[in-house]
Every structure is written in C-alpha cells, then in structure tokens.
Amino acid sequence: MTKNNPIGLFDSGIGGTTIWQEINLLMPNEDTIFIGDQRYAPYGIKSKQEIVDLSFKNIDYLLSLGCKIVVVACNTATTNAIEEMREKYSIPIIGIEPAIKPATILSKTSKIGILATKGTITSDFFASKVKLYPETQIIEQIGYDLVTLIETGRLHSDEMKALLTSYLLPMVDQGIDTLVLGCTHYPYLTPIIETIIPADIKIIDSGKAVAKHTKEVLEKLDLLTTNTSAGANYFFSNTDIEILKTFTPESGIVEYRDF
C-alpha cells in the first residue's frame, strides 16, 4: 500500500459524509473515496448478520479501488460488525461509536441522552460501553425512521420535526444536559434539534474524534499522503446519485457504481 492511495469510507447512505467532512478538513490533501450503500439503507433495522455481510461487501469494493485504510463512517456497522471486519481484513479499519465517554465528561447533571439507530442501541458492543459508566444515567432513544426521511429528501419536513420532538422532549423532561448524536446522519439534524431542545443542552457527535484518530493511525503507519495540493474526492452511490449530490462539495466527483 502506498502513501498516496485513497482513504476509503463507507456508510449506508449520505450520513457518512459528515465524517468525510471532518476528514477532509483535517487532511485536505488526501484523496478519498466515499461509498454510500443507499440501495441497502437503512442499516439500523437490519440483523447483525446482514450488517456484517454488507460491511464486507463495502470493504471489498473499497479494497478493489486501492484504498489504504477504511473508515467505517457508520455507528450501526461499527457496533455490529467491527470485530468481524478486523478479523477478516488486514488493512487498518477505523470505526465510529456514539460519544458516550466525552458526554459523561461534559455532563454536569450526570444525565445524558443518546439518539441512535435500533441496530446500534441493541448491539452487545453498545451495551458493553454503557456499562462502563454506572454513575451516569444514560437515556437511550431509537431514532426510528429518521435515516429514511433524510435518505428520501425529507430532512426539512414537518414529519421530521414531529418525530424529533417526540424522541427528544421525553429526554429533556428527564433532565439531560448533553445529547449524543449516535448516528452519522444525525449531525444534519442539528439545526432542527436546536429549535426543539433548550439551548443549554450540549449536542455532541464523534466526527472530529474519528478524523483525528484516522490521522494518527495513518501517521503511525507512515501512510500520510505526500500530495501537496487538494486531494481528489469521489462519492459513489449504488442508487440514484441526486440525494448524495446535495450532501457533497461542488469539487466532489459523484457517480453511480454497482457495488
């Protein structure tokens, strides 16, 4: 693997572009290939085995394109399949998980809320992380249908606002002072969430931490690019590319691919 091979990222859909943004901000000269597995979205309601199989399919495709590292830009895939992925592949694989630890540090009330997919919240991996913080009251909420609404162009709909209100206000009533966005699609909901919950509740996600960790791993393996100008950024979808296009930068190359 050479330093100038691309960084590969995958998600079930457009959510992982929030992670791509942080990676590009930190390492603008890296070439990147992002694949949104939109034909099979959402992952959050699939079985563990289905998520493992889809993750393998995505990594195989990224490897066929010569990626030097894979960033799993999806909490659901990480919490259900990261062990299986690391067992099967020798390439470095970076995962993303809900930011429980930073939230417990930030919280003054020791009450935090976590909004994530069913697949993430019901995973053994997630349960094992929650157990590490017995002093903190962790209020979990499954974000049913949120990903589907985003993937079908209904991010700014009344339906979205109503669903979010029904998920968030019960957590507010229970006294949370920190809200963890445990799905990479959800940072796109932040402006709407801010109109629903009190302004003093902090909203956090794992994007920056994942980008920082990716850079550290590349550095350690001596795989940081030697490019001195902005990298090329490819975004592939296995469905209609129109939705993905609205979440990618103008300089990005967005194409249909059959993976």
Residues of this chain that interact with ligand DGL (CB under 6 A) are 11-13, 15, 41-44, 74-76, 117, 120, 147, 183-185
User: Would you call 183 a catalytic residue per the annotation?
Assistant: yes
Which is closer to ligand DGL, CB of 75 or CB of 214?
75
Alpha carbons 199 and 201: distance in angstroms, whole number: 6
Alpha carbons 200 and 37: distance in angstroms, whole number: 36
- Residues 6+ away with beta carbon under 8 Å from 199: none
State the DSSP H helix or E strand holding residue 88, giving kind and residue range, or none if neither: helix 75-88
Which is closer to ligand DGL, CB of 113 or CB of 231?
113
Which is closer to ligand DGL, CB of 177 or CB of 235?
235
Shortest Å, Cβ 192 to ligand DGL: 17
Distances (CA, A) of 62 to 32, 35, 90, 258, 259: 10, 8, 13, 12, 9
Which one of 183, 197, 201, 218 is the catalytic residue? 183
Shortest Å, Cβ 69 to ligand DGL: 18
Which is closer to ligand DGL, CB of 61 or CB of 247?
247
Which is closer to ligand DGL, CB of 225 or CB of 238?
238
Alpha carbons 61 and 56: distance in angstroms, whole number: 9
Shortest Å, Cβ 200 to ligand DGL: 26
Q: Which residue is nearest to ligand DGL (CB)?
A: 44
- Is omega for the bond preceding 42 within 30 degrees of 0, making it cis? yes
Shortest Å, Cβ 226 to ligand DGL: 32
Alpha carbons 259 and 250: distance in angstroms, whole number: 24
Q: What distance separates the 2 farthest-apart alpha carbons in the chain?
A: 52
Partner residues linked to 180 by β-bridges: 114, 204
Shortest Å, Cβ 109 to ligand DGL: 26
Which is closer to ligand DGL, CB of 7 or CB of 73?
73
Q: What are phi and psi of 117, to 5 degrees?
A: -75, 165
b vs e for 16-33, b when ≥16 Cβ sit within 10 Å of the residue's Cβ?
bbbbbbbbbeebeebbbb
Shortest Å, Cβ 76 to ligand DGL: 3
| CA angle, residues 85, 248, 192, in degrees to nearest 5 | 95
Which one of 14, 74, 114, 204 is the catalytic residue? 74
User: Would you call 67 a catalytic residue per the annotation?
Assistant: no
Q: Which residues have a catalytic role annotated?
A: 74, 183
